[in-house]
Amino acid sequence: MFAIITPALITGAFAERMRFGPFLIFSILWAVLVYNPICHWVWGSGGWLGKIGTLDFAGGLVVHLSCGCAALASAILIGPRKGYGKENFVPHNLPMTLLGTALLWFGWFGFNGGSALAADGLAGSAFVATHLGGMSGMAMWTLWNGFIGATLLPWVRLQAQ
């Protein structure tokens, strides 16, 4: 199931930049060449990362880190979206964005904490890490949107012209 979902996480980097056919080819190649080896290293019997004690709650390393790196590399390779620096790319409905984020955040508590398979210190650690990770993401978005982006964006737009 994760192998099918992981390319969907990368699609944010492809939005308005890639046709569907090339995306399907990318998804197959990425699953075979990137996801499957990392999955085996962490979750497979005899995987070297699993042997050294790597804990991967709900795919933090296998799914999210690998997809984030792939999305960043793809965005750099493909280049900026059409209209970058000329159009304002803001969410169309910020309350719905907030609601969706809150629902995901709440769901992650059960998914990540439940990955410990017991109500113990390990589950508590996953719960706290989930909360701190979400809070950190929210804080960085707030800083970027409210201060850093407003300060740097005019400079970036000038450089793009």
Q: What confidence score (pLDDT) does residue 55 get?
A: 76
Res. 63 pLDDT band, cuts 50 70 90: confident
Share of the chain above pLDDT 90, in %: 19
Report how far residue 65's alpha carbon sits from residue 52's, in angstroms, rounded to the nearest whole number: 19
Q: What confidence score (pLDDT) does residue 116 get?
A: 78
61 in the Ramachandran plot: left (φ > 0), alpha (ψ -120 to 50) or beta? alpha
Q: What confidence score (pLDDT) does residue 160 get?
A: 52
Over residues 5-28, the pLDDT tens digits come to 888 889 888 877 888 898 889 889
Query: CB–CB of 66/7 below 8 Å?
Result: no
Report how far residue 74's alpha carbon sits from residue 65's, in angstroms, rounded to the nearest whole number: 14
Whole-Å CA distances, 127 to 54, 96, 112: 17, 25, 7
Q: Per residue, what are the HEC states of the chain? A: CHHHHHHHHHHHHHCCCCCHHHHHHHHHHHHHHHHHHHHHHHHCCCCHHHHCCCCCHHHHHHHHHHHHHHHHHHHHHHCCCCCECCECCCCCCHHHHHHHHHHHHHHHHHHHHHCCCCCCHHHHHHHHHHHHHHHHHHHHHHHHHHHHHHHHHHHHHHHHC
The HSE-up count of residue 127 (CA atoms within 13 Å, CB side) is 12
Over residues 113-156, the pLDDT tens digits come to 887 788 898 888 888 988 998 899 889 888 877 776 666 666 55
Range 1-5 average pLDDT: 78
Domain spans in the chain, listed from the N-terminal domain onward:
1-79, 85-161
Query: CB–CB of 2/62 below 8 Å?
Result: yes
Over residues 37-61, the pLDDT tens digits come to 999 999 888 899 989 988 787 778 8
Closest CA to 27 of 40, 44, 14, 16: 14
What is the value of pTM for the model shown? 0.70
